[in-house]
A and B are shown apart, each in its own frame.
Chain A
Amino acid sequence: MVDLTLNEKRLLVTLAPMGEGSATAVAAALGTTEEAAVQYAHLCADRGLAVVTRTSAKTYTLTPEGAEYREHGLPERQVLDSFEGSISMKDLQAHPLSRIGIGWLRKKGWIAITKGVAEKTGKAAPGADEVALADPKEGMPGIAELLKRNLVEEHEEVAYRIAITPEGRDLVAGGLDLAEETGTLTREQILSGSWRTANLRRYSLSTPPKRIWPGKSHPYQRIIDEVKGILLDMGFVEMQGEIVLSAFWDFDALFQPQDHPAREMQDTFYLDMKEPLPAGFERVRDMHEHGGTTSSTGWGGVWSTEVPQQCVLRTHTTPFSIRYLIDHPEPPVKAFALGRVYRREAIDPTHTPEFEQLEGIVMDEDVSFRHLLGYLKEFYGRMGFENVRFRPGYFPYTEPSVEPEVWVDGLGWVELGGAGIFREEVTAPWGIETPVLAWGLGISRVAMLKLGLKDLRQLYRSDIDWIRECPVIRKEE
């Protein structure tokens, strides 16, 4: 019992001769407020030195309406007393209290109504509600009815009684040091040396500390940083780019046919503006129409020069890749982008109109599909997904295409992104002859797996308590 505060000790010393008393009396003897006395007593009670008993008493006061009825009787009683034997309903309804009274008369069975005539039943002894109305007290059976009718108001008074336990007495009998305590050590005490004799208050570890919150980056940003770190370690250069792109770069340059469903207004955010076609667009046109100089047949039909000028909010980060390759045509090139992409989706727990996408490319002499699988294994392995398998996939701008799946305990095989080798139809218009391995991945999906989130919106419209509670060093789910 070494860590009692001075206040707790004083309470016990005061209480010992009294044995037991109301909080009011104990507070008076202690020279403090009732609340403080109860607080100290609770702390002593936690250590088994005192007992705090809470009692509550209910009292009732009449509302103005209730006071009126106590004097003149309840409406139903007043209406009943206004006639003898029986009365026509019409006359009864003329009574000023009939609106309230008649309902209760019927409910209580004091009258019976037949063919527009009310007749007394003879059963109209004073009820529990009338007894209670005369002098409302706790425990009366009629009180509930009066509360419901808003004729009385209930007041609760809480009182505490404090008693010392035998353990408390023993402690007081053993003697308690009531010398003044020092809370905060002062500069004066440090310099003068008086700290040596000061009675430094002891603090209890069982009292939890106040929770404070450090400034920190967002849990999702930390996952993004982790992914970026892996790619930087693997020797990739980071790309960035514009959010507003022409459909030419977002779709056509990636060999998306012009009538592809993903290009429709209902899936893509279009903007009311156009961007002229870049130099060299004819080679992309030829590729769409007949495969240009490659072994491809192209999509056939006529390639519109209007459609690709329409601007969109980028639907993926892949356009950065092709533009980066155009600017950096010499192998080896290893580059990645991680940025927001936009799809015309309504917001719900698993869809948001913007989300982060990762995109990685490798252009190198003699790289093949085999190396793409190698990069994917390495990347996912470093992300903590040791078990990776590959399923055939389909993307308009890669061939062969693959959908990597990772094993997640509790979920099984989870599809995580897509990959492939850029089609010749994508690279040939720009004179890129070295194979380009490419893969993409929705990072918000990774975040949901890693953070155990069920609702994507938490990433973007965060409850800051969630951010506060998310530790910087995360236990793997």
Chain B
Amino acid sequence: MAIISLNYAYLERLTGTDRKTILERLPMIGSDIERTFDDHVDVEFFPDRVDLYSTEGVARAMRGFLGIEEGLPEYPVTPSGISFTVDPALRQIRPYLGSAVIRNVHLDEAGIESLMGLQESLHWAIGRGRRKVAIGVHDLDKVRPPFRYIASPRDRRFVPLDFQDELSMEEILEQHPKGRDYAHLVDAFDRFPLIVDADDNVLSFPPIINGELTKVTTETRNILLDCTGTDPKSVRMAASIICTALAEAGATIESVDIDGTPYPDLSPAERIVSVDACRRLIGIDIDAEEMAALLQKMRFGAEPLPDGQVRVLVPPYRADIMHDWDIFEDVAVAYGFDNIDAALPQTFTTGKEHPIAVVENEVRSILTGLGYLEVMPFTLTSERVLYGQMRREVSPDLLRVSKPISEDQSVVRTDILPLLMEILEINCHRELPQRLFATGDIIRGVKTMQSVAAVSIHPGADFSEAYATMDALCRECGLSPEFVESADPAFIEGRRGDVLVNGKKVGVFGEVHPEVLVAFSLEHPVAALELDLRAVPGYPARPGTP
């Protein structure tokens, strides 16, 4: 999520009202106020509303929402006469270019910082780490048009931003911090993207770094914008958002001729939407006029049509409008969620617990009745806990995650008993006896299934206790199993049993092997059991929800 810092003085000036009014209503257009400071506020906006990632964009939206200025903001674009060509050799590398000339810019230090912040947020939110689009702004008066976007040899040298000496583009990838961060985006190519002017001066090495030559300062009056990328839609959106934000701050926008096509196009997109569809989705009773008025508060152009429809003009910076419902949501936001009359439908339905949950609940009540306390250990664990410390062979059914954060959470449990041993270890200083159980999901192979395990630790814990508890659990679960000698190495030989139902092993119990006790730093005997809940009557024969 993007956190945007809004300077109060600038926000108040652009919005045309006081900070209290703005802050009070800001959450209701979809934001979260993170922290307030003396001179600014940090606000989190959703990743779909990239147009709100600048103070200018927030002010534009708030002017509408607060009724100060409604309807579609107009952004006239006149031709600059400047042209830009794109080298066909870039087709396999980074083919798309967007540009604009932005004149009459007066940025102070805070303004430059805000522009850089907007660029960074866009790199993240629509650029996906500069891959889909990367943005550069340049002092136009330091270079001479026309401009060329070319595929350059990798040893081309220029002075990158914030450096004093020339580096080759390959050296930049190794030595410049931005080069190291983004080298993976270009490293595989024989040639690198480069933007140069009529005199072959370097403006930028997109998507890595600009040249020092065209650095934007407080003296800059005219800006050349470049947006390069691999996705034309994202390139267009980034250019629109930067241009309209600077236009809100008082700049004028001029188009650049890119291989014969003027750029940017800041005209709105049109959508004809149904008033009835909106009413049905939101559940509010409004007519076409009211709907149009609400949309204008959200800075759409909106005009009621005679046939129960509204003609909507979507501003060029609204990246989130991809479906009619996206427009209907804005109607609801303008209407105010709190003004919507919340209601429950009258439809009759009956509730039903999942059969697996029913079985788990019964098992819970049996074991708590036997004096056992429930715990809820993690399902992620390690091979060491599941097998090594249990003296067990690693199961071929063990599921490993590809890139664990830590070895301790690198596999999904195939059994629950080892996790209970671990909880006993955590509680080794607590009063005895301790009788614990857990029930829940395990995974064997890729299948999710359920199991229950129980442990009892105290000086008198022994095989007889484990046998008696397993016997009671089976009886209460309606099972009449066969108990046979087990070979499970987690238990002491001659003090362990397998539970067979219809000849199939569904459980194990016994007195835990002293080596296992020592591995879990336990000093008293443990009687333990585990039972596969699939054996219990009532467990659904087929997976999924009936």
Contacts and interface: CB of A to CB of B under 8 A. Distances in A.
Contacts of A233: 351
B12 interface: no
A241 B544 contact: yes
B401 A271 contact: yes
B521 interface: no
Interface of B: 27-30, 32, 46-49, 128, 131-132, 231, 233, 271, 280-284, 322-326, 328-329, 332-333, 337-338, 340-345, 347-354, 356-357, 361, 364, 367-380, 399-406, 409, 412, 422-423, 426-427, 430-431, 434-436, 440-441, 443, 446-448, 543-545
B448 A243 contact: yes
Interface stretch (A75-83, A143-151, A152-160, A369-377): A369-377
A472 to B, nearest CB: 10
Instruction: Please provide the 10 A-B residue pairs with the shortest distance between their CB atoms, ordered closest to farther.
Output: A370-B283, A368-B283, A394-B46, A232-B351, A392-B30, A400-B329, A373-B342, A235-B349, A238-B354, A296-B323
Contacts of A221: 364, 374, 376
A323 B345 CA distance: 24
A259 interface: yes
Contact of B30 (A391, A415, A423, A461): A391
Nearest to B320: A394
Contacts of B345: 362, 364, 366-367, 371, 374
Contacts of A459: 376
Counting chain B CB atoms within 10 Å of each CB, the highest count among A332, A401, A462 belongs to A462
Contacts of B350: 235
A216 B375 contact: no
A453 interface: no
A269 B283 contact: no
A392 B326 CA distance: 12
A215 B368 contact: yes
Contact of B283 (A231, A301, A371, A465): A371
Query: Which bracket fits the contact residues of A?
Result: 35 or more
B372 A215 contact: yes
B323 A371 contact: no
B375 A462 contact: yes
Contact of A374 (B343, B435, B440): B343
A353 B29 contact: no
B546 to A, nearest CB: 9
A414 to B, nearest CB: 12
A374 B344 contact: yes
A132 to B, nearest CB: 42
A370 B30 contact: no
Identify which of A270, A301, A369, A371 gathers the most chain B CB atoms within 10 Å of its CB. Answer: A369
Contact of A231 (B231, B351, B430): B351
Contacts of B351: 231-238
Contacts of A218: 373-376
Contact of A366 (B280, B406, B412, B446): B280
Given A259-B131, A368-B282, 5 more contacts: A240-B545, A296-B322, A334-B349, A342-B380, A415-B32
A455 B11 CA distance: 39
A253 B356 CA distance: 26
A391 B324 contact: no
A248 interface: no
A125 interface: no
Contacts of B372: 215
Given A237-B545, A342-B380, A367-B345, A400 B405 contact: no
A370 B47 contact: no
Interface string A185-219: 00000000000000000000000000001111110
Given A370-B340, A400-B332, A464-B436, A394 B357 contact: no
A329 interface: no
A238 B352 contact: yes
A107 B409 CA distance: 58
Nearest to B441: A243
B379 A390 contact: no
A291 B322 contact: yes
B337 A373 contact: yes
22 contacts: A215-B373, A238-B352, A238-B354, A265-B403, A269-B402, A271-B399, A296-B322, A301-B231, A313-B412, A332-B347, A344-B403, A353-B380, A354-B378, A364-B347, A392-B28, A393-B46, A394-B47, A399-B329, A400-B282, A400-B333, A464-B375, A465-B427
B371 A215 contact: yes
Interface string A293-320: 0111111110000000001010000001
B281 A295 contact: no
A270 B324 CA distance: 34
Contacts of A296: 322-323
Given A240-B354, A242-B447, A291-B322, A368 B280 contact: yes
Given A232-B351, A242-B448, A435-B281, A423 B46 contact: no
Contacts of B323: 291, 294-297, 399, 423-425
A13 B283 CA distance: 88
A137 interface: no
Contacts of A311: 446
Contacts of B30: 391-394
A242 B543 contact: yes
Contacts of A295: 271, 323-324
A120 interface: no
B446 to A, nearest CB: 4
B238 to A, nearest CB: 14
Interface in A335-378: 335, 339-340, 342, 344-347, 352-354, 362, 364, 366-371, 373-378
A238 B358 CA distance: 11
Contact of A373 (B128, B131, B340, B545): B340
A402 B448 contact: no
A215 B132 contact: no
A463 interface: yes
Given A215-B372, A402-B337, A369 B283 contact: yes
Interface-centre pick from A242, A346, A375 (highest chain B CB count, 10 A):
A242
B354 A239 contact: yes
Contacts of B131: 259
A409 interface: no
Residue from B325, B351, B374, B401 having most chain A Cβ neighbours under 10 A: B351
A10 interface: no
B412 A392 contact: no
A277 interface: no
Contact of A272 (B368, B400, B431): B400
Nearest to B233: A300
A253 B25 CA distance: 35
A273 interface: yes
A232 B349 CA distance: 10
A269 B545 CA distance: 25
A220 interface: yes
Contacts of B380: 342, 353-354
Interface in A63-105: none
Nearest to A345: B405
A228 B401 CA distance: 30
A43 interface: no
A271 B353 CA distance: 31
A269 to B, nearest CB: 4
A461 B426 contact: yes
A62 interface: no
A213 B434 CA distance: 10
B226 to A, nearest CB: 21
Given A368-B281, A370-B341, A399 B325 contact: yes
A271 B402 contact: yes
A241 B375 contact: no
A389 interface: yes
A389 B336 CA distance: 11
Contacts of A362: 345
Contacts of B447: 242, 244
A62 to B, nearest CB: 39
A450 interface: no
Contacts of B357: 228, 238, 240
